[in-house]
Chain A
Amino acid sequence: MIAHSIFFYTFSIIAVISAIMVTVSKNTVHSVFFLILDFISISCLFIMIGAEFLGMIMLIVYVGAVAVLFLFVVMMLNVAQQKNQWFASESSSGHIPVGLIISTIIFFELIIVIGGWKYKPDLFDINNSVNNFSVSNTHSLGQVLYTDYIHVFQLSGMILLVAMIGAIVLTFRKRTGVKTQSYLNQISRERSEGVEVLEVESNKGVKIDD
């Protein structure tokens, strides 16, 4: 158990430190990399408490897909201009009080929410609960997700679908005057359209493309 605790606290410390570094580091790309480190250490924590399926899904969804897109956007910034000039100049520091007020409000709201949380006593008694190791993580998740919570599950899928369609509608625009290749036209070309065999008379040549 000692080794287990040592690993658990190591990953926790890495998670907390990298979360702090996400906000502190001046370089935006470094922030994203710290975010990725944070995700990875959190999925390690999931695995250490026995939720291996959640940990792997966390790795696949957040690190493998979401963070790649983050990085994609952030990388468009120039490497040389990576220094964040947010707090550097006098003129742009006018928003600091507003930001402080908002973050204080959110902080106290979180405290109120967490402090007033009513824990179900039987739900959190992990130490005395009898673990059923014959059923794997994935099976037990599926047994709850597709029976008791099927409506919530379907609803979250619908929300994601709506968000996806919304994003496509917002960014999709038909541009005119753009030359694009239609693969259908390209592969449906016949030899007779593309090649023509002509008798070329000497000293007269032949006229093409008129």
Chain B
Amino acid sequence: MEYLNIVLQEVYRIVFLLIPVLVSVALIVWLDRRVWAFVQKRQGPNVVGPFGLLQSLADALKYIFKEIIIPSSSNKVIFILAPIVTMTLALISWAVIPFSATQVLADINVGILYLFAVSSLGVYGIIMGGWASNSKYPFLGAIRSAAQMVSYEVSIGVIIINVLLCVGSLNLNDIVIAQQNLWFIIPLFPMFVIFFISALAETNRPPFDLPEAEAELVAGYQTEYSGMMYAMFWLGEYANILLMCAMGSVLFLGGWLSPINIYPFTLVPGAIWLILKILLLFILFALVKAIVPRYRYDQLMRLGWKVFLPLSLTWVVLTASYLFYFNLLPVN
């Protein structure tokens, strides 16, 4: 009975984390399209519901009622598994994101490593989908995406080391609390820029959307998918983008801390501040999509390995020596 109680309580908490995440994914798709449209002097989706807010809901309904086509020459098990893997991985990583000092599903010691591990697993959904489709365009898309995501993960890992040097703990709440006096975006600004660009590449957003470059690969690894399976890829992708924004705000923008540490601002709950920071980063993501042309593939690889990796490694040395020289290393 006691176990049942604990399990039910956990299920309750998980459901009340996942439902807001899924709803915000739907809203964020709408926001993305609106921002994109406004940059190009269009209206964007504005018909369904107030300001077109329900557009994503209508799209989801459409996807649900569409037929799911499974190619006869595909590897069926893996073909069906691929969108499920993408969606699951995009959702389980929200377990460790702290919404305030106490509002976190799993306050584990190695939170940032968990986030990094789950985001590095994200490539499997794409590889599985691309390979199991057994057709040329998805396969090319999957290969591109695997190479791209593995390359940019390296620099994200090194950037995380930079932040960890200043914090001295792998716990996400500790990382947030360490920024009480100074957000890490100020001392580590170049790392924030590299993190932002690497996050774009990691989530296959434009200008690094080569795995699904419409002009070259039809839709990349998603070409053979239809109906709800396609929608799951699509939702998983946006959930990943939101997660990267959350990771950026926890690592560099002070997570749930209020920007000004004086009386009226500290009354606002931490979750609101975190959501505002995520939104700010997401609008940047959407703006980049609208204003930057797509990279060439060799330039993408050059940027990852020959520019970002050496730069972030050098910054690790700089941060470590600075902290060591001024005796600021977080030792406990």
Contacts and interface: CB of A to CB of B under 8 A. Distances in A.
Given A59-B117, A79-B134, A3 B78 contact: no
Nearest to B81: A33
A202 B77 CA distance: 69
A105 interface: no
> Would you call the interface of chain B mostly helix, strand, loop, or mixed?
helix
B113 A136 contact: no
A33 B78 contact: yes
Contacts of A22: none
Interface stretch (B27-35, B119-127, B182-190): B119-127
B181 interface: no
Interface residues of B, number: 34
A52 B109 contact: yes
Nearest to A27: B75
A79 B131 contact: yes
B127 A60 contact: no
B216 to A, nearest CB: 17
B170 interface: yes
> Would you call the interface of chain A mostly helix, strand, loop, or mixed?
helix
Contacts of B302: 183
Given A64-B121, A72-B146, A137 B110 contact: yes
Contacts, number: 77
A48 interface: no
Contacts of B170: 53, 136, 138
B3 A3 contact: yes
A21 to B, nearest CB: 13
Interface in B7-43: none
A63 B121 contact: yes
A203 interface: no
Contacts of A36: 124
A80 interface: yes
Interface of B: 3, 73-75, 78, 108-110, 113-114, 116-117, 120-121, 123-124, 127-128, 131-132, 134, 139, 142-143, 146, 150, 153, 157, 169-170, 298-299, 302, 332
Given A60-B113, A137-B110, 7 more contacts: A33-B128, A56-B110, A56-B116, A64-B153, A79-B131, A80-B134, A138-B110
Interface of A: 3, 27, 29, 33, 36, 52-53, 56-57, 59-60, 63-65, 68-69, 71-72, 75, 79-80, 82, 136-139, 181, 183
